[in-house]
């Protein structure tokens, strides 16, 4: 279940910091007021969290921050074991997971289905079979790296759409994109934008974040 303060209308941008590998950084992000922490469980990724941190250490991370697992075409039973072992709150699916797979998984945990967008994509067609089986969507850049590519997709693909489902906006978002995000937030589609997802543009090294830069982004995005 996603942690949010009760009886409070959230007028600020929510932020998810993905590709984390250091529990201490997650705790600092929690103290900073960051809402989501992403851990990558895809072995080929340079941010594969088990290279750095065991499941027991991830499970010990508590607070308001929502621990999110990033998976790519993972065996369902193995994914569920990782969810339990690490105490995850959400599963973010970056691969070719079918609607049936998402439906089965959604019986156990909140599901974020990722869609990698190219300039030629029909967004409404890509997402149509996942409305009833995913809790949220995430729109990202179409690359082979499954997250953390540092490349941005054309946000105009989403312009004037009515998604009717909460979504994360990802893909190469950097500190200097704060003003552009504020402009994007005025568009029709942004009424469903649940959070902004940041990753490689805020790193000292893969999986190690520049926390001061994250704070500057948070403050700039929310007008401080």
pLDDT of residue 146: 55
How far is Cα 135 from Cα 106, in angstroms, rounded to an integer?
8
**pLDDT, tens digit, 9 for 90 and up, residues 123-136:** 999 999 999 999 99
pLDDT of residue 145: 54
Contacts of residue 194, defined as CB under 8 A and 6 or more positions apart, other chains included, come to: 14, 136, 166, 167, 168
Q: Residue 119: how many CB atoms within 10 A of its CB?
A: 9
Residue 99, token pair as written in the block = 């609607």
Mean pLDDT on 82-106: 98
Assigned fold of 15-221: TIM Barrel (3.20.20)
Helices 211-221 and 23-32, interaxial angle, to 10°?
20
* Predicted confidence (pLDDT) at residue 156 exceeds the cutoff of 90: no
- Indicate the pLDDT class of residue 11, thresholds 50, 70 and 90: very low
Residue 2: predicted pLDDT:
58
Q: What pLDDT band is residue 154 in, cutting at 50, 70 and 90?
A: confident
The DSSP result for the chain, as a single string, is -----TT----SPPEEE-S---HHHHHHHHHHT--EEEEE--TTSTTBGGGT--HHHHHT--SSSEEEEEESS--HHHHHHHHHHHT-SEEEE-S---HHHHHHHHTTSEEEEEEEE-TT--HHHHHGGGTTT-SEEEEEE--TTSS-------GGGTTT----S-EEE-SS--GGGHHHHHHHTTSGGGGGEEEEEE-GGGEEETTEE-HHHHHHHHHHHTT-
Q: Residue 208: what pLDDT?
A: 97
135-150 residue pLDDT tens: 999 999 886 555 555 5
Q: What is the pTM of this model?
A: 0.91
């Amino acid at each position: 279940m996603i942690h949010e303060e009760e009886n409070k209308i959230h007028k600020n941008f929510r932020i998810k910091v993905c590709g984390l590998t250091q529990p201490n950084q997650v705790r600092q992000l929690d103290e900073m007021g960051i809402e989501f922490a992403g851990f990558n469980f895809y072995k080929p990724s340079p941010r594969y969290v088990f290279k750095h941190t065991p499941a027991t250490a991830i499970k010990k991370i508590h607070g308001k921050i929502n621990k999110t697992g990033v998976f790519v075409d993972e065996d369902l039973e193995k994914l569920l074991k990782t969810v339990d072992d690490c105490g995850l709150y959400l599963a973010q699916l970056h691969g070719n997971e079918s609607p049936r797979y998402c439906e089965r998984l959604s019986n156990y945990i909140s599901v974020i289905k990722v869609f990698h967008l190219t300039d030629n994509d029909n967004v409404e067609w890509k997402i149509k079979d996942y409305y009833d089986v995913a809790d949220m969507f995430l729109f990202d850049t179409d690359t082979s790296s499954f997250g953390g590519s540092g490349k941005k997709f054309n946000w105009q693909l989403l312009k004037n759409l009515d998604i009717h489902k909460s979504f994360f906006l990802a893909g190469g978002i950097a500190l200097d994109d704060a003003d552009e995000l504020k402009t994007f937030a005025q568009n029709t589609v942004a009424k469903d934008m649940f959070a902004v997802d940041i990753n490689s543009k805020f790193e000292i090294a893969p999986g190690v974040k520049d926390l001061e830069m994250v704070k500057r982004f948070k403050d700039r995005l929310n007008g401080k």
